[in-house]
């Protein structure tokens, strides 16, 4: 056992790890992020999915196949993947993190996302990570950008460069909550810009956000990066609305 593990074991005695879903102390035999009860309520988006946007076809015997949206109009990103459905444990902890400003929960969620292995996603194909930006007004209100915290954990885990300022949100928009897909697309249209075309040109970029709802925000970011010369774009999120 190395010194790092020894120090961690001592720390766990005085500050035992706590489940962010229910605040129960995690038992040694449990997963390091969630207790058994909370983990059972997490629906991971594995199995049959759309190979482009990653939407899950639960209980489908057909295997992977394109969804209707991607057949009708391909998004500007090449692939999108989410760890779990935005419900139960994941919904509760994301809201606790984002709206309750609980950065300790955010740290756990970020490491949970970074440690998740997508079966068909290869981080080695990508050269850069970029978080979806907040408008400066929203950033001041919240005090942090949740996408940055998630992106930092991916950077550390997968040893990829992270550009915090690759994209800038130039317009303050109404919240996307409660809007349908077309309204979201209209609300978010043209609000992003690239801060440096040279930093984007020819890059394979991973966009990071907390929740994929309709994909409008991620698609607008990807569109902006494509216009600046990005070669391939992936969108990774912690959760997805089902």
- What's the CATH code of the domain at 157? 3.40.50
Q: Give the helix ranges, DSSP H, for the chain.
A: 3-14, 36-40, 68-72, 88-98, 103-115, 136-142, 146-158, 181-188, 197-200, 216-227
pLDDT higher than threshold 80 for residue 172: yes
Q: Return the closest-CA partner of residue 77 out of 238, 208, 233.
A: 233
pLDDT on residue 6: 46
pLDDT confidence band for 184 (50 / 70 / 90): confident
7 plus 91 within the same structural domain: no
Whole-prediction pTM:
0.90
The verdict on 116 and 209 lying in the same domain is yes
- 4 and 88 share a domain? no
pLDDT in tens, 189-242: 989 999 999 999 999 999 999 999 999 999 999 999 999 999 999 999 999 998
Whether residue 17 sits in one domain with residue 77: no
Residues 49 and 116 in one domain: yes
Q: Following CA atoms 169, 218, 167, 159 in sequence, which dihedral angle do they give, to the nearest 10 degrees? A: 140
Calculate mean pLDDT across residues 18-29: 90
Res. 1 pLDDT band, cuts 50 70 90? low
* 134 lies in the same domain as 182: yes
> Could you tell me the residue range of the domain that residue 18 belongs to?
1-39
Contact 190, 171 (CB under 8 A): yes
State residue 34 phi and psi, 5-degree precision: -130, 150
Q: Is the pLDDT of residue 188 over 80?
A: yes
If you compute the radius of gyration of the chain from its CA atoms, what whole number of angstroms results?
Answer: 18
Cα separations in angstroms, 47 against 101, 106, 234: 33, 27, 19
Cβ distance 162 to 180 under 8 Å?
no
Domain count, the chain: 2
Q: Give the span between the Cα atoms of 25 and 14, in whole angstroms.
A: 12
Write down the pLDDT at residue 233: 98
Q: Are residues 165 and 215 in the same domain?
A: yes
- Using alpha carbons, list the distances in angstroms from residue 22 to 28, 62, 87, 96, 192: 17, 37, 15, 11, 37
Per-residue pLDDT, 58: 86
In this prediction, residue 3 carries a pLDDT of: 52
Contact, 208 vs 134, CB < 8 A?
Answer: no
Q: What is the pLDDT of residues 31-43, one digit of tens each?
A: 789 999 999 999 9
Length of the chain: 242
Structure tokens at 2: 């190395």
Q: Are residue 7 and residue 67 in the same domain, yes or no? A: no
Pair 204, 141 in one domain: yes
Contact 80, 53 (CB under 8 A): yes
- 198 lies in the same domain as 131: yes
The H-or-E segment that residue 155 falls in is: helix 146-158
Question: Is 119 in the same domain as 162?
Answer: yes
Mean pLDDT of 69-85: 96
Same domain, 152 and 186: yes
Q: Which of 48, 25, 52 is nearest to 36 (CA)?
A: 25
pLDDT one-digit tens code per residue, 90-130: 999 999 999 999 999 999 999 999 999 998 999 999 999 99
């Amino acid at each position: 056992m190395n010194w790092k593990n020894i120090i961690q074991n001592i720390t766990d005695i005085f500050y035992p790890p706590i489940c962010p879903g229910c605040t129960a102390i995690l038992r040694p035999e449990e997963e390091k992020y969630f207790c058994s009860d909370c983990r059972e309520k997490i629906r991971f988006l594995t199995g049959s999915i759309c190979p482009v946007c990653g939407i899950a076809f639960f209980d489908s015997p057909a295997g992977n196949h394109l969804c209707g949206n991607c057949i009708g109009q391909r998004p500007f990103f090449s692939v999108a993947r989410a760890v779990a459905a935005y419900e139960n444990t994941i919904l509760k902890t994301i809201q606790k993190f984002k709206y309750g400003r609980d950065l300790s929960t955010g740290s756990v969620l970020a490491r949970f996302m970074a440690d998740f292995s997508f079966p068909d996603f290869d981080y080695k194909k990508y050269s850069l990570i970029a978080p979806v930006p907040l408008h400066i007004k929203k950033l001041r209100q919240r005090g942090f950008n949740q996408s940055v915290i998630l992106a930092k954990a991916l950077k550390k885990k997968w040893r990829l460069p992270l550009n915090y300022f690759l994209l800038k949100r130039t317009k303050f928009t109404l919240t996307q909550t409660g809007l349908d897909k077309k309204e979201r697309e209209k609300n978010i249209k043209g609000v992003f810009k690239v801060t440096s075309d040279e930093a984007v040109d020819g890059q394979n970029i991973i966009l990071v956000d907390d929740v994929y709802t309709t994909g409008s925000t991620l698609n607008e970011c990807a569109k902006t990066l494509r216009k600046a010369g990005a070669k391939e774009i992936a969108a990774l999120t912690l959760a997805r609305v089902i």
